[in-house]
């Protein structure tokens, strides 16, 4: 298939590490956004979970970032896993765009750890979240032309996705609390705006990287992108079901609504994992049609 790079064991490791890296970033940013946006609407236990989620994800992100450096060094060295600890190869990686991204990512994730500090901490964490979003525009397909629009669209796409993904676990917890219905209802209204940003930025990114709709057919990039779009569409369908049927039923005390709602949110989490794997594959082993 056109635009598909060779796949070996190191490439598979790179895809897995990148998917975990993406997930950690989304959870860290999303946990911060949730704790700020819903600070007056969520119960204390739910807000505490969001902050803990942000901190845990940031720590995982820092660890995975180091692993990705080693995997990248191993891939470019041709030495196998021995290249992962070779100082010269690691130096090459540090001087690459991944090194620049690592500086932004590392600073941002360290700043996110301050979300546990009362008051001022959440604003430092918010700045860190923006730094993490910017880090993704320093590497990968966003380095192509037109540079500025790609970087801005990618950052917006990431922030919108993080708002949604980072809220899933806190909302899962909220579905067990008496006041959770109001929070879920408010989140559904706020998420409508976030989904609009997610879709518009995603479509614009795909258009700039593909060049045309016809370029999606017959290329590895197009196949991976279409798979991702299918998963996202399914996720949007679940979210719509929650907003239109399950959340209203939960708010009026339907006996089966709590279980159904929590199950639906759990399925959303699984869909997110699959989307992260598809995205990691897309950015690791495929080349955008405009660059072929």
Q: What is the pLDDT along the chain (292 residues), one digit of tens a residue?
A: 576 777 778 889 989 999 999 999 999 999 999 999 999 888 999 999 999 999 999 999 999 988 888 888 888 777 777 777 778 887 888 888 888 888 999 999 999 999 999 889 999 999 999 999 999 888 776 666 677 888 889 999 999 999 999 999 999 999 887 778 889 989 988 888 888 998 898 888 888 877 767 767 778 888 888 888 888 888 888 888 888 888 888 888 787 888 888 899 999 999 999 999 989 988 888 877 755 5
* Residue in this structure with the two tokens 């991976």, named with its chain if needed: 224
Report whether 221 contacts 207 (CB < 8 A). no
Contacts of residue 201, Cβ cutoff 8 Å, sequence gap at least 6: 153, 154, 156, 157, 160
Give dist(CA 243, CA 99) in Å, integer.
41
Q: Residue 145 has what pLDDT?
A: 65
Q: Residue 132 has what pLDDT?
A: 95
Q: Residue 142 has what pLDDT?
A: 66
Q: Residue 131 has what pLDDT?
A: 95
């Amino acid at each position: 298939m056109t635009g598909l790079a060779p796949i070996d064991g190191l490439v598979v490791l790179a895809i897995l590490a990148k998917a975990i890296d993406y997930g950690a970033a989304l959870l860290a940013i999303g946990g911060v956004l949730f704790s700020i946006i819903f600070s007056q609407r969520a119960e204390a236990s739910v807000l505490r979970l969001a902050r803990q989620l942000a901190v845990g994800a940031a720590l995982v992100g820092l660890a995975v970032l180091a692993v990705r450096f080693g995997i990248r060094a191993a891939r470019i060295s041709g030495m196998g896993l021995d290249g992962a600890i070779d100082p010269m190869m690691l130096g090459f990686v540090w001087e690459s765009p991944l090194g620049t991204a690592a500086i932004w990512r590392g600073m941002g994730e360290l700043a996110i750890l301050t979300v546990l500090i009362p008051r001022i901490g959440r604003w430092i964490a918010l700045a860190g979240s923006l730094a993490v979003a910017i880090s993704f525009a320093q590497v990968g397909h966003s380095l192509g032309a037109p540079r500025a629009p790609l970087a801005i669209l990618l950052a917006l796409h990431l922030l919108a996705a993080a708002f949604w993904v980072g809220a899933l676990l806190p909302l899962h917890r909220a579905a067990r609390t008496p006041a959770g219905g109001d929070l879920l209802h408010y989140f559904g209204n706020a998420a409508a705006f976030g989904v609009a940003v997610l879709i518009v930025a995603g479509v614009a990114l795909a258009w700039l990287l593909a060049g045309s709709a016809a370029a999606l057919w017959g290329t590895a990039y197009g196949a991976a992108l279409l798979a991702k779009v299918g998963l996202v569409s399914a996720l949007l369908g679940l979210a719509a079901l929650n907003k239109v049927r399950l959340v209203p039923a939960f708010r009026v005390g339907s006996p089966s609504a709590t279980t159904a709602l929590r199950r639906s949110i759990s399925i959303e989490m699984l869909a997110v994992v699959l989307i992260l794997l598809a995205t990691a594959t897309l950015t690791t082993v495929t080349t955008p049609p405009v660059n072929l």
